[in-house]
Amino acid sequence: MPASLQGQVILNTRPAHQQAELSHLLERQGARVISFPLIEIVPVEAGDMQRRMVREIESYDFLLFVSRNAVDGAFRFIDTAQLSTDTSFGVIGTATRLALAERIGALNSCLLGSEPYNSESLLDADELQRVEGKRILIFRGQEGRNLLGDELAVRGALVDYCEVYRRARPQRDVTDFNRMTADAFPGLAILTSNAGMQNLFELVDSQAATALRRTPWLLISERMRESASKLGHNAPIIIARSASDKGILQTICEWADQR
């Protein structure tokens, strides 16, 4: 991959605990990275849903995890000794697969959709085409997408959701962004969720908001494009090859080479 990011100033808005690898990859290519997390991941407390999940975990045919945050949140409640050897696993994204493997050891079988690593690609897995009567548990954050579960239910599966984390807006002063960008405003902003886009304009002042609407954005899915438009963004939008750090890096390098 060419070192094509020299002189680029890039805003990394991933959650704080998930920024390091992407920032490192960008900096290795010569970019200057400004860290400005827009989402804080907050674990949920144990409730009826989580307690029922623990009691019944062995009865599910598939356990699906929508993100690495879902893995981390789920294993606050799951005892790996309870997992049945007959249970199949599925994940969205290579980082989620790695996080799951770290929790339960070697994964002999784990469904993983192809790039761009989303619900749609996981639904294409052969093992999820004929699931009539199968029990499926989906671990996700609060107010997550329903597409995965809705489609599996249409195929005849018995689907439950278990929400194991929630997204919150970080607490910070609106002057923080101005201070961080005083000597160099980002030429590209990485935005990885609709909630993050919304939070962005609540964490900066009006002048910064205007400038950000005129700044190219890298988004991780086509469905985010409409949300960006509704927020008044009117600069080029780049859609990442995938939501993975390497997918984002590759897309940014290609974008920089074309400029």
208 lies in the same domain as 226: yes
For residues 153-182, average pLDDT: 95
Question: 30: alpha, beta or left, given left = phi > 0 and alpha = psi -120 to 50?
Answer: left
47 lies in the same domain as 33: no
Selected residue with higher pLDDT from 119 and 154:
154
Sign (positive or negative) of CA dihedral 227, 229, 233, 236: positive
DSSP structure class, residue 143: T
pLDDT digits (tens, 9 = 90+) for 76-119: 988 888 888 888 999 998 889 999 999 887 666 789 877 778 88
Q: In what order do the strands lie in the sheet with 110-112?
A: 40-43, 158-168, 135-141, 62-65, 88-91, 110-112
Q: 2 pLDDT exceeds 60? A: no
Residue for token pair 């599910």? 60
Percent of residues, the chain, with pLDDT higher than 70: 98
Q: Model-level pTM?
A: 0.85
* 3: in domain: no
Residue ending a domain, among 151, 167, 183, is: 167
CATH of the domain at 245: 3.40.50.10090
Residue ending a domain, among 120, 140, 167, is: 167
Is residue 157 classed as helix, strand or coil in its secondary structure? coil
pLDDT digits (tens, 9 = 90+) for 55-71: 889 999 999 999 999 99
Separation between Cα atoms, residue 131 and residue 67, nearest integer Å: 22
90 close to 62: Cβ distance less than 8 angstroms: yes
Average pLDDT, the chain: 92
Task: Please tell me the total count of domains within the chain.
Answer: 2
* 48: in domain: yes
Residue ending a domain, among 146, 167, 188, is: 167
Q: 183 pLDDT exceeds 50? A: yes
147 lies in the same domain as 175: no
58 lies in the same domain as 146: yes
pLDDT at residue number 146: 87
Selected residue with higher pLDDT from 75 and 3:
75
29 lies in the same domain as 68: no
pLDDT at residue number 55: 86
pLDDT at residue number 259: 76
Q: For residue 73, what are the domain limits?
A: 42-167
- pLDDT grade for 1, boundaries at 50, 70 and 90: very low
For residues 209-236, average pLDDT: 95
